[in-house]
Structure 1
């Protein structure tokens, strides 16, 4: 028996990609607002952009904890007092994993409880997803050999590469603003 719980945070590739995309999309806004003399307080805009980045970091701090007792999806202490509480299931409550297709054609899986009154989404964007699914199989005896993550790493790498090009456009835009002032 493993006494220490296993913690699976959101994949670093996903965190880095989404944070980079957020900053690449928002950093030029104060410069553009100043250039175009938009009637919106610049300090408030910067505050809202910083607040947005904090909220994004809070969302990306979600993690899955697998222990001998069960599985829990939640947030660290610095987020949980303010954010969603998440969910937890004991291994005895879990009856099966049910597959559902998404609107985009992907597949997601839900833990279905033995009472059949609730279903809980299996987190699929965690680092160590395959290890987490193996632990679920060990603890529940549910066959998980066909379960794959919803988003493959190449999708986030692709988005990260295009975010890099967006950064280049941002640098060009901001430098153009400074040379025209």
Structure 2
């Protein structure tokens, strides 16, 4: 459905620009935005590559196990049926670590790996387990202590103080995560009672 909406918006924009005699401006904007997109992708690719490498080193060096122990007291109530020594728990902690550092794009492969492992523990069922639901909620409404990717984008577009947004990011992400977890955990408890 969303593809149809975006296609309609693009088509309507093209028709309006031609109808209003702004075809040259449209062509210039397409070329200019294409060049800016490639530049942005290269910038983001560098940041993602760096942090993906750091996360891989952390995983290979055993830092994942240390993070699992650090996060274990916080995550046990959210994932009561999950063994803290399991690969799924390790992947969840690495995903949360990447999200805390504001590395959403780097966290994605870790999140996919964690979801795959949770699905295997679920018996590869078509129905999501409570742990899968809580993990998706945590991953979507993640707490960010250091919004690295956002700071990189702000710096790329000329911000003199790219990290001056820290306090609003902390407040908004903490509120979003708290509300989302309360709803997810509450609905999971209600489902178990029924």
The two structures share one fold, judged by TM-score above 0.5: no
Larger RCO (alpha carbons 8 Å, 6+ apart): 1
Higher helix share: 2
Higher strand share: 1
Q: TM-score, normalised by structure 1?
A: 0.29
Q: TM-score, normalised by structure 2?
A: 0.27
